[in-house]
Structure 1
Amino acid sequence: MFDFVFAVIAISLGGPAAPLDGVGRPDAPMPVQAPARPAAPASPAAPLAPAEPPRAFHMAAVPPGLAAEDQTPSGRFTTAAEVKPILNATRGNWIAVRQYNGQDLVYVTHLWSWRCGLAAMAVAVNDAPMQNWPMPPCHEALPSPNAILDDDPQPYLTFDLGSVQTVRVQLVYDDLSMELEAFLRGDVLIP
């Protein structure tokens, strides 16, 4: 009985969703790119199936030139050891989609706020291939090294209004571990 009540509370509070074929779980192997599945023709009497999250495609290996960094905790959230638990707990907030000024904006502000523990980030919108998205530098000289400053690039990309349907994100932490997540527009659309 208590397990049932706990599950209901967790779901109502936005608890963790079931992982997609091992995607995003640190103990699971990275998935292999799956071929596109043809859509079955829908009959007019058939009920509509709920939208499925997109399969996540990934970088096959750590980008060249990256080396694992020291993971001694700094207390300033500048290592994978410090930021990985936070990003795992806030996985649903990694990105957001917003309709603004006649465009779709894909935001990565949350990820950039913990970027000092990241070595690289790649994003794919809809069926496009993963593309590296350079992050601003970690501002080690400041009290808040993860701060996004006015001189840093904007933490969003612009697309045609209504065109962003799926977003896939892959992170490479500074310990060279990788995580992958896929999002549906309706799950990350902000008013």
Structure 2
Amino acid sequence: MSAFKRYGLALLIGVTASLPANGNAQSMPPEQIKQILDVTKASWVSFRDWNGQQLIYFTHLESWKCGIDYVFYGLNDGPLDQMWELDECDPSNPNAVLKDKPYIELPMGSTQSISVQLIYPDGTKSPVERFEYTGQ
């Protein structure tokens, strides 16, 4: 296991250990959510082929929506000119994903990559992360 993975795993374990006993993250400081999102950035979005369409899921980001103000994305190395609208944060159930469709639907084979950038409540921005479609 690489040092980064060990550090990331230790950070994630440490953050989740600091959650209240009932698992409710309502009082999690925004800085901890930023750290979780940084460690889990490989999971921000995922591709899926389904019924002749290409789906790009934002489920992971929806589950951490209480620590994100905006999600901007661009397809196929284009500009970050589209915004994923997160559900409103419910402090009593902060990690719930209640959206009927936590994904975008695109024609099969139309998207080779998606780039994503997060804007946090303190106004800071994440680095732009690029995710490649690898086929299903």
Query: Which of 96, 99, 104 pairs up with 1:157?
Result: 104
Amino acid at match of 2:95: N
SS at match of 1:85: helix
1:126 maps onto 2:76 in alignment: yes
Q: Which of 1 and 2 has greater Rg?
A: 1
TM-score by length of 2: 0.75
User: 2:29 and 2:68 mapped to 1: Cα distance?
Assistant: 7
CA drift at 1:167: 0.6
Higher helix proportion (structure 1 or 2): 2
| 1:79/1:175 CA distance change after superposition, 3 Å | farther
| 1:15/1:175 CA distance change after superposition, 3 Å | same
| Percent of aligned pairs with the same amino acid | 34
CA drift at 1:128: 3.5
CA drift at 1:75: 4.8
TM-score by length of 1: 0.55
Amino acid at match of 2:84: W
CA drift at 1:76: 2.3
Q: Structure 1: which 5+ residue stretches go unaligned?
A: 1-8, 17-73
Query: Which of 163, 166, 177 pairs up with 2:113?
Result: 166
Alignment match, 1:177: 124
| 1:119/1:104 CA distance change after superposition, 3 Å | same
Q: How does 1:35-184 map to 2 (within 5 A)?
A: 75-76=25-26, 79-130=29-80, 131-140=82-91, 142=92, 144-149=93-98, 152-179=99-126, 180-184=128-132
CA drift at 1:78: 5.4
SS at match of 1:178: coil
